[in-house]
Structure 1
């Protein structure tokens, strides 16, 4: 038994709120968060539905994030790398120990809109305590129970899914995987290094490593779930 919550966190102090305010017609979505042993994490943010110059100006004018840079532009969709400014939230250890899994996080002009998986009510209450400690007003839209079946999948009014299942492979992850394969990164012996592929994509090696890891995790998870794929014994 688990819980799935849809809620809004309202605060002007949340990162990227000022970016969303600068392009209110756009969708500003967190694609990944890369933690660091010391210092602020790195956000990869997907922005779609706004003029490219307007998006660039919104990041340039934002006070909530710094070190912003364009990662990739694909038509009307642009992905930026950035880091939050200011001091980290209080009780960050409490959030780090929380086992909940964010499924979707959108930045809006007033805060964040989020859908998150929780193992139980205690985990949800712990998350809500963290929000209150940081003056984030949490407005709960839906909180429903999810029943877990023998195959690890969960069923709820939101639909069917797997709490442990990674999100669908992103376009950036697909691009990284295909480019690495084409360049010979997976060959034996390798004909391209991580740095070679990263240079081709115009990203940092650390970012590429994270994308490849997530892409491979997704493929392996799909392999294990597919009843039509059987291991071959020679």
Structure 2
């Protein structure tokens, strides 16, 4: 049966090095695209003006190129092409068939939420990262079938609250009784930020509900 792990990584691995000189910048990993023997991360930089962080990353030794894909008022989405594959974190995520539920970094510390098909896959991920010298701390492990998981479905607090308020106030009704712009005003954030919360929250729910047959293999 699948397990979900909340993992903290800090120190000498690629993503923490990217933020080492950007201590006030919050970065969020959108997803990782396999590309042959390499991986291409898509990351959000959360800032009203992403230009300084973008320029800093563009000159980083680990990055061959960085391309802005989307721009909103409080963040921008980038594709990163490595100069060379910097470490085995992404490779291990792919090898162990882990699903990326969330990954947020500030300074040199990153917090990942990963869904592994089995507990053994999580153990192998942990062991292989330690062997590669990537510092890793597992803060929490739980199964989607746990009581807590069955009521929260891996949602973060803000995702849970935003989805709850959207449901309560009629966002999912036909016709809609409230729009994302109105929800955004209640939370004091942008319309797009609310839309992103709803999208990520629903992705987490669906990921835990629709378990592939291989995920049940022990």
The alignment's TM-score, normalised by the length of structure 2, stands at 0.60
2:109 and 2:62 map into 1 onto residues whose CA distance is: 12
Cα displacement (A) at 1:156? 4.8
1:190-210 Cα deviation digits (max 9, x unpaired) = xxxxxxxxxxxxxxxxxxxxx
Q: CA RMSD in A?
A: 3.3
1:104-150 Cα deviation digits (max 9, x unpaired) = 11233324310111233211101102211211111111112331xxx
Which structure 2 residue ranges, 5 or more long, are not aligned? 160-198, 210-218
1:220-231, aligned counterparts within 5 Å? none
1:53-77 Cα deviation digits (max 9, x unpaired) = 3222221232232211222211121
Q: Equivalent residue for 2:2?
A: 2
Q: Equivalent residue for 2:123?
A: 125
Choose between structure 1 and 2 for higher RCO, CA contacts under 8 A separated by at least 6 residues: 2
In structure 2, relative to structure 1, the CA distance for the partners of 1:33 and 1:96 (3 Å cut) is: closer
Which structure 1 residue ranges, 5 or more long, are not aligned? 148-154, 169-214, 226-234
In structure 2, relative to structure 1, the CA distance for the partners of 1:157 and 1:91 (3 Å cut) is: closer
1:183-198, aligned counterparts within 5 Å? none
Q: Equivalent residue for 2:55?
A: 57
**Bigger radius of gyration:** 1
1:107-118, aligned counterparts within 5 Å? 107-118=105-116
1:178-217, aligned counterparts within 5 Å? none
Q: Which has the higher helix share?
A: 2
Cα displacement (A) at 1:45? 0.9
In structure 2, relative to structure 1, the CA distance for the partners of 1:70 and 1:90 (3 Å cut) is: closer
Aligned to 2:61, what secondary structure does the other structure show? coil
The alignment's TM-score, normalised by the length of structure 1, stands at 0.57
Match of 1:157 among 143, 148, 156: 148
In structure 2, relative to structure 1, the CA distance for the partners of 1:133 and 1:86 (3 Å cut) is: farther
Q: Equivalent residue for 1:185?
A: none
Query: Does residue 137 of structure 2 align to residue 139 of structure 1?
Result: yes
